[in-house]
Amino acid sequence: MFHPVSTFIGLRYLRGRSGDRFSRFVSYMSTAGITIGVMSLITVLSVMNGFEAQLKGRILGVLPQAVVSQQGGTPAEAQVPDFLQQLSSKPPEPIVRSEAVIQSSQQLAAGLLIGIDPSEDDPIQQHLIAGYLDNLQAGKYRVLLGSTLARSLDVRPGDKVRLMVTSASQFTPLGRMPSQRLFTVAGIYNTGSDVDSQLMITHIDDAARLGRLKRDTISGWRLFFDDPFVVADLSQQTLPEGWQWSDWREQRGELFQAVRMEKNMMGLMLGLIVGVAAFNIISALIMVVMEKQAEVAILKTQGMTDRQVLTIFMVQGASSGIIGSLFGGALGVLLASNLNSLLESAGIALFAVGGSLPVAINPVQIFVVVTLAVMLSLLATLFPSYRASSVKPAEALRYE
């Protein structure tokens, strides 16, 4: 025997005796319920994390994450303000952007036109499937298109398309005409998201001429972040007078809000499984307390206090929760790590052409899930344990 005695008796009650088969069965089912709940919760949250990270990389890695501009236009040759260098994870870059209409001989579409100063560090570089970023040269009027947009327009590298910017229209004898010019398709990129059907990229000088900006003027400075979600906090900072802030939430905020809401709802629904298993602990402990009233009375007559009796049944109930939580956490990590391999071996194809489920295991998230499951199991033991500690020895042994 080891001390404290309450822990020893609680663990012995957890194993049970051969005559307590039904109560042991209920206890095992509650442990299995917590195991399944924690395992499912970790697996689903890992997949949702991977899906969110994939969207973040594919969409927010290409779109301007934040643009800070001055009212009336930003001088192109001005030095980057100090307060912008402190906000961005890498040096801010000048950008020109506007809504535009693109036309080919087959189709017409609308999207976002951005003008950049091509560099090897530009995020679009790693998504190019045809052409080169160096093809964007000032005065050549070349443009990069997404694979979906190029397919809908039926164009390939080398074809001509017409770009029109309605915000830069001018009055002519024929009426109001948008600023327009023929561009050559210099390359095609593919991010695997809806950005491929909307974003058009050209040289910053060509975009400025098409948008009829003032000479040596840009739309603003493009900022880069290690985590694009920090724009929610950075946008609250006070900027110097005359400066304006805009970020990706204006175009994609609703999409990521929907993903986060779905992630939270899935977590809540699967968390209810753990809650149901915790209620099974309550029912199992109440049955054990009713069966062992005589034993509790004998322990009290031998000098055991109410607190020690309370600890006995809390140890018994919490042990089921701890075992189920730890085992479920380990199984959840194992399942999430090998999910795509298991689906492939089972012959389940979730994608028409290749592809796999994105999985991102977050250790902090796993620790929180397991900790909350243990705490919930511990709370479930309070009422039955209190009932056991309230047993009166004289009444329990009256008919023995």
CA 378 – CA 380 distance, rounded (Å): 5
One-letter amino acid of 29: M
> Residue 18's pLDDT band (boundaries 50, 70, 90)?
very low
Residue position matching structure tokens 């087959």? 106
Taken in order 254, 260, 262, 268, the sign of the CA dihedral is negative
CB 111 within 8 A of CB 200: yes
Residue 74: alpha-carbon gap to chain centroid: 35
CA–CA gap between residue 370 and residue 356 (Å, rounded):
27
CB atoms within 10 A of CB 362: 15
| 217, pLDDT greater than 70 | yes
Looking from the CA of 333 toward its CB, the CA atoms found within 13 Å total 14
Residue 176 has pLDDT above 90, yes or no: no
Q: What is the token pair recorded at 278?
A: 């915790």
Model pLDDT for residues 21-38, shown as the tens digit of each residue: 666 677 777 788 888 888
Q: If pLDDT is split at 50, 70 and 90, which confidence band does 306 have?
A: confident
Return d(Cα 375, Cα 70) in angstroms, integer. Answer: 52
List, in sequence order, every residue forming a beta bridge with 259; answer none if it has no partner. none
- Quote the CA–CA distance of 360 and 191 in Å, as a whole number: 19
Exposed, middle or buried by CB within 10 Å (0-12, 13-18, 19+), for 331?
middle
Residue 392 one-letter amino acid = K
Highest-scoring range by mean pLDDT, 69-78, 199-208, 312-321? 199-208
**Are residues 333 and 361 in contact, defined by beta-carbon separation less than 8 angstroms?**
yes
Per-residue pLDDT reduced to its tens digit, 250-284: 877 777 788 788 888 888 887 787 777 777 777 77
Distance (Å, whole) CA 46 – CA 248: 25
pLDDT exceeds cutoff 70 at 399: no
- To the nearest 10 degrees (0 to 180), the angle between helices 363-380 and 306-337 is 150
Of 1, 2, 7, which is closest to residue 313 (Cα–Cα)? 7
Q: Is 346 helix (H, G, I), strand (E, B) or coil?
A: coil
Long-range contacts of 132-137 (CB under 8 A, 24+ apart): 132/186, 132/187, 133/187, 135/186, 135/187, 136/186, 136/201, 136/202, 136/203, 137/203
Nearest in space to 119 (alpha carbons), one of 88, 93, 139, 97: 93
This prediction's pTM:
0.72
Q: How far does CA 298 lie from the centroid of its chain?
A: 55
Instruction: Measure the CA–CA gap between 291 and 218, rounded to whole angstroms.
Output: 80
Cα torsion through 145, 151, 154, 155, rounded to 10: 30
Residue showing tokens 């229209």: 169
Residue % of the chain over a pLDDT of 90: 7
The pLDDT of residue 1 is 45
42 close to 348: Cβ distance less than 8 angstroms = no
How far apart CA 143 and CA 181 sit, in angstroms, is 12
| pLDDT per position as a tens digit, 68-114 | 888 766 666 667 777 777 777 788 888 888 889 999 888 888 888 99
Going by their DSSP bridges, the two strands 160-172 and 175-189 should be labelled as antiparallel
> What average pLDDT does the segment 332-347 reach?
84
Give per-residue pLDDT as tens, 118-147.
Answer: 877 788 888 888 888 888 888 888 999 998
Residue 157: other Cβ atoms inside 10 A? 17
Query: What's the mean per-residue pLDDT of the chain?
Result: 80
Start-to-end Cα distance in the chain: 28
Which residues sit opposite 353 in a β-bridge?
none
| Strand duo 199-203 + 108-116: pairing | parallel
Closest Cα to residue 180, out of 153, 197, 157, 160?
Answer: 160
pLDDT at position 144, please? 92
Report residue 175 as tokens: 């009426």
121: left (phi over 0), alpha (psi -120 to 50) or beta: alpha
Q: Is the pLDDT of residue 183 over 90?
A: yes
Interval 348-392: pLDDT, tens: 766 555 567 788 888 998 998 888 888 888 888 877 777 777 767
SS3 125: helix
